[in-house]
Each structure stands twice: as structure tokens, then as C-alpha cells.
Amino acid sequence: MALNATGGRVKLRAIVVDDEPLARDELTFLLRQCDEIEVVGEAGFAMEAERQCDDLQPEVAFIDLRMPGLDGLALAELLRNKHPQLAVVIVSAHDDGALRGFEAQVTDYLLKPVRLERIRQAVERLTAARPDSVLGGRALERFAVRRKSWHVVVEVRDVVYFEARGELVWAVTEVDRFAVDRTLTNLADQLDTKDFFQSHRSCIVRIDRIRTIEPAGARSFRLHLDHPDEPKVPLSRDRASKLRERIPFLR
């Protein structure tokens, strides 16, 4: 947990978004049982949630999946476009949106009825992903991943790229690949931006491993990486201009 200037714990500022008042009240009550969370706002529809994010600057939004108008994932995309550091937890009575949720890089997906124990797990994941909590302001240098009954320690300097495939995120080194229990959004917050670049919503690459940039149509590109398997990863149109700032295109 991050500390403030006086040594006190800084809570994660959260808003709760659900069009059903009873469900909204219940989730708010459960969140207030967690010492790490401060619920600063509640919203019953998309426009209200957008206004609260603008005014209150929360760090996390707990959003119901099925609401009139924009559904939870569409609202999450809208809010994150305006507030890129906002973490999103989707809450739903249905599990059919879980895959879409992880493709949209939400931090967690909670099934209703939500239990306090499950809420605490989500909050633990949120605080672990918070850059100033687990890293003390330093970039991630190594992490441990489970492999059968063992935990393998992976040095970040050995990772060539991170890739989201289906519901999993993979850290790919020259000799192996490891499933990571984090979303790409979480990782992007923890990695040193001098070394890594998010080329696409599904991919973060080590910038010094980019060897060639290939046009892929519709003003998008593919990056060829320095790796024994010669992988090609996507570079989206909106990220290409950011890459030009890191690697100037000289004519």
C-alpha cells in the first residue's frame, strides 16, 4: 500500500457504476469493508460515470456489464480513452462477457452475487498493480510465475515482448514463454517506459528489440523483433506516431 507524506496509507479512490440502486448499494457496502478502498462516487448511467471520472479522478471504476445504453465494456473503453490510468473491474451476473473483458484489458471480472472474499481478491490485485505501492516508484525488475508446483523467477531485462492471447498474457523471452497473472494495462503501468513500448492493445515490446517496421495496410504496421523465432507483432495506427517519437523516421 502506498504511503502519504505523513506515513499514512493512501487508499485507492473508486467509483461504482450500476443502473440498479440496490446492486450499487450492496457493492459499495462491500468495498467499504476493505481498508484499501475509498468509494468517492456512485453512478447509475454512463454520462454520470463520465462526469464523476472527470470531477473526482478515481483510480478504479467498478462497472456493471449490462446497463441501458452503453454496456460496461463500452463505457470502460470510453472512460479509459479519457483517463488512461483508470483501472476497470467489470461486475456481472453473467460470465459470457469475461473473454471480452480480458480482451479489453480490464483488471478483473466479478460475478454477482459478489462475495466479500472475492472483492478482497480484486482489491489485492488492484493494489499490487499500483505502481507506487509495490514498486515504491521503481520500475518492475523481476517477477515470479507459477509453473506446475514451482515458481519461476523471470528477469524483466530478458523479456522481448509481452503478448495477450485469449484470456492469458504471455511474457516471451529468447528461450521460453511464461503465463503472467496480470493484464497488459497493469504491466504497462509497472514497466520502465524507457525500455518498453505498448505497440498495440495486445502487445508491449522491448524497444531495443525492434528491427524492422513493415506496413500492414490501413496505416497500421507490423514490428519485426530480434528473437530466434523472428516474431511479427502489431503496431496500431494510433500508436505509430508515438513510436516515431521514440524511433525517428528519417528520410
Q: CATH fold of 12-134, please?
A: Rossmann fold (3.40.50)
SS3 (DSSP) at 205: strand
Report, as an integer, the average pLDDT of 87-115: 76
| Burial of 217 (C-beta count, 10 Å sphere; 0-12/13-18/19+) | exposed
**Which pLDDT value is given to residue 201?**
87
Is the pLDDT confidence value at 139 over 60? yes
User: What architecture does CATH give domain 142-246?
Assistant: Beta Barrel (2.40)
C-alpha dist (Å) from residue 57 to 9, 15, 28, 123, 224: 18, 9, 17, 18, 38
Number of DSSP helices (H) and strands (E) in the chain, helices first? 8, 15
Tell me the average pLDDT of the chain. Answer: 84
Domain boundaries, the chain: 12-134, 142-246
- pTM for this model (two decimals): 0.53
C-alpha cell read off for 108 = 478483473
* 12-134 and 142-246 in the same fold: no
**Which pLDDT value is given to residue 133?**
41
**Which pLDDT value is given to residue 134?**
38
Edge to edge, what strands does the sheet with 210-217 contain? 210-217, 220-225, 232-235
Each residue of 29-58: pLDDT tens digit? 999 999 889 999 999 999 999 999 989 989
Each residue of 79-97: pLDDT tens digit? 988 888 888 999 988 776 5
- Please report, rounded to a whole number, the percentage of residues in the chain having pLDDT higher than 90: 41
- Exposure string for 227-251, b = 16+ CB within 10 A, e = fewer: beeebebbbbeebbeebeeeeeeee
Residue 149 main-chain phi, psi, to 5 deg? -95, 5
